[in-house]
A and B are shown apart, each in its own frame.
Chain A
Amino acid sequence: MPIFFPSDEWIKTMMVDLNNSSTYLDAAKNWEGDLYFIIQPGGNLQKPVTLYMDLYHGKCRSAFEVDGMENPPKPVFEISAPIENWKKVMTKQMDPMQALMTGQLRLRGNMAIVMRNVRAAKELVESCTRIDTDFPV
C-alpha cells in the first residue's frame, strides 16, 4: 500500500530501504552527514514539511519528521523543493542532478563532500524511487 509523502512513516520506510541496500552501504561507505529533506507546499500539502535522516558510513542511524521539536537537529545538508518537483524526481520524470543544476531542487551544505561522493548521492535518490509512494499532488 502506498505510503504518504512527506510523512514520518515515509522517511522511516526509506531508512529501512537504505539499511537493507548493500549497494548503498558500499556507495556511501565514506559518507558522514545528516540531512533535511524540506518539502514546500503544493497541491494538498498545506504547509512545509521537514524530514530528517542521519546518514553515516552507508547506514541510516535515525530518520523522522521534524515537527514541533524543541531542539531540532542542525544537519550538515539540506535539500529543499516544492512538492511537485520532489514528485518528479522520485518518479524519475526529472534527473536529480539536472534538477539541482537548474534550481528545481536546492542543496545546501559542504559541497566538497558531495563532489567526492556522487555515487552515495545517486543511491540515496534511488532509494526514494523504490518506495511505493502516495503524493499529495
Chain B
Amino acid sequence: MWFFSSPAIVFGESSLSYLSQVPIQRAYIVSDANLAAAGLVKKVIDHLPEQAQIVGEYCAVEPDPTLETAVQGARLMLDARPDWILAIGGGSVIDAAKAMWILYERPDMQADAINPVEVLGLRKKARLIALPTTVGTGSEATWATVLTDPRENRKLGLGNRECLPDIAILDPIMVQSLPLPILIDTALDALTHAIEGYTSTWHNVFSDGLCLKAAEMICATLPCCVSDPNSTDYRADLQNAATIAGLGFGNSMAALAHGMGHALGGIFHIAHGKAVPMFLPYTIDYSLGGEHDSTRYRPLAALLSLPASTEQEAGANLAVYLRELMSMMGQPGSIAELGIPRHEFEANMSVLVDNALNDTQTIMGTRIPDLPDLEKLFRAAYDGRRIDF
C-alpha cells in the first residue's frame, strides 16, 4: 500500500491569472526580501481576486529557514487568520510556508516534531498555493519541508503528506529574471531529484515515468538555456521539469546525495543546489558497490544515449556524464572546490557524518553507508577522488 500525491498544477504562460479564480478571502504572503524587492510578490498580488484581502506578509524567509522562522511565521498567521497562504519563492520559502501553515493549524505542535506519521487534520483554517521562482526545488509538488536547527547546525528533513500544497502555479514569468547561476544550481538540484527519485528504494510505477521524463528534459534543456539564457521557452521547460521531478521524487523519496548534501549545507551553509548535485556522482559510484543489481541506472543512462549494457557500465557512465555536465556548468566537483578549508572540514567530520547518517533521505538509498564508509565518502568527495570501495 502506498500513495501518489499531487497538487493541482497550473502551468504555462499567464497561469498567474488563475489566481483570480481561487476563492481567496484572506491571503497571507510568504516570500523573501529579494523577491519582494524584485517585484515578484507584487506580480502575484496583482492577480488576486477582487474580494481578497492581504491580511499579512512574511517576506523575510532566509536561505535554509530555521525552526524559529516557522514558529514566528505561524504566530503571525494566528493573529492574521488567513484562509489561503501563498508561498512565493524557492525551496526555502515554500518549505517555510508549509511549516508555518502546519503550526498555524496545529499550534500545539513543535516545529521539529512535524512528521509523516501523524494525522494532522490540516485545511480547517487555510490552504496553500505554491508559486516557485526557481527551476529546482520541487517543493511545490512535495510534502517535504527541510528546516534548520541552528543550535545543532543541522537540517531536519520533516514533512507530512497533508502539507502538500493545494495548488502549484508555474508561470514562466516567475523565473524569467532568475539569475543564471541560481538557475544552474536549481536545475541540477532538480536533476538530482529525478535521478534519486528513480533509484530510491521507494521508487514506484507512478513516480518512475515522471523521474525519467524530468531527467531527459533537464539534460536536454539546461545546456541550451545556458547558451541562450533569456529564452522564455527554455526557462519554462526547466520550470516544468523541476515540478515533474518534484512530483516524481516527492512520491518516491530522494537518497544519499540529499542526506550528505543536507549535512554539509547545515554546517557550512552551502546552497542546497550546490551541495546536493555535487555529491550525486559519488553516491552513484558508491551505490554500484552495493548488492548485485540493486541499482537501476540502465534506463537513465539509455535515455541519455550512454553505453548501458550492464548496471555497472550504466551507473559508471552516468556518474561520468554528471561530472562533465557539472564541470561544463562551472559547478564545483568537490567539497574543496566549494571553498571549505580542510581543517574546518576535518574538525566537523563527526557531526557531518552523524547528521548524514540520521538524515531521513540517507536511508532511502539502495546502499546505506555505515559510519566508516560515510567518512570515506565525505573525504573522497572533499578531494574529488572516485569511489572505489
**Chain A residues proximal to chain B, CB less than 8 Å:** 23, 26-27, 95, 97-98, 100-102, 104, 107, 110-112, 114-120, 122
4 nearest interchain CB pairs? A112-B113, A111-B115, A111-B113, A112-B112
Report the separation of the CA atoms of residues A120 and B358 in the bound assembly, to the nearest whole angstrom: 8
Give every chain A residue within 8 A of B114 (Cβ-Cβ): 111, 115
- Measured as residues with beta carbon below 8 angstroms from the partner, the interface class of chain B is 20 to 34
Give every chain A residue within 8 A of B37 (Cβ-Cβ): none
Chain A: CB-nearest residue to B115:
A111
Give every chain A residue within 8 A of B156 (Cβ-Cβ): 115-116
Could you tell me if A102 and B357 are in contact, using CB atoms closer than 8 angstroms?
no
Partner of A111, one of B117, B202, B357, B360: B117
Could you tell me if A110 and B3 are in contact, using CB atoms closer than 8 angstroms?
no
Q: Does B95 interact with chain A (Cβ within 8 Å)?
A: no
Report the separation of the CA atoms of residues A104 and B359 in the bound assembly, to the nearest whole angstrom: 23
Q: Does B110 interact with chain A (Cβ within 8 Å)?
A: yes
Could you tell me if A118 and B360 are in contact, using CB atoms closer than 8 angstroms?
yes
Report the separation of the CA atoms of residues A23 and B360 in the bound assembly, to the nearest whole angstrom: 17
Q: Does B370 interact with chain A (Cβ within 8 Å)?
A: yes
Given the known interface contacts A100-B117, A101-B116, A112-B112, the answer about A119 and B357 at a Cβ–Cβ threshold of 8 Å is yes
Give every chain B residue within 8 A of A97 (Cβ-Cβ): 116, 363
Could you tell me if A114 and B115 are in contact, using CB atoms closer than 8 angstroms?
yes
Give every chain B residue within 8 A of A116 (Cβ-Cβ): 112, 156, 358
Give every chain B residue within 8 A of A102 (Cβ-Cβ): 1-3
Partner of B117, one of A95, A101, A117: A101
Chain B: CB-nearest residue to A122:
B363
Report the separation of the CA atoms of residues A119 and B2 in the bound assembly, to the nearest whole angstrom: 22
Report the separation of the CA atoms of residues A23 and B114 in the bound assembly, to the nearest whole angstrom: 27
Could you tell me if A118 and B113 are in contact, using CB atoms closer than 8 angstroms?
no
Report the separation of the CA atoms of residues A115 and B147 in the bound assembly, to the nearest whole angstrom: 12
Could you tell me if B115 and A98 are in contact, using CB atoms closer than 8 angstroms?
no
B residues 334-362 touching A (CB-CB < 8 Å)? 357-360, 362
Give every chain A residue within 8 A of B359 (Cβ-Cβ): 118
B368 to chain A, nearest CB (A): 8
Given the known interface contacts A26-B371, A98-B202, the answer about A110 and B358 at a Cβ–Cβ threshold of 8 Å is no
Partner of B360, one of A27, A98, A107, A115: A115
A102 to chain B, nearest CB (A): 5
Partner of A110, one of B1, B113, B117, B363: B113
Give every chain A residue within 8 A of B79 (Cβ-Cβ): none
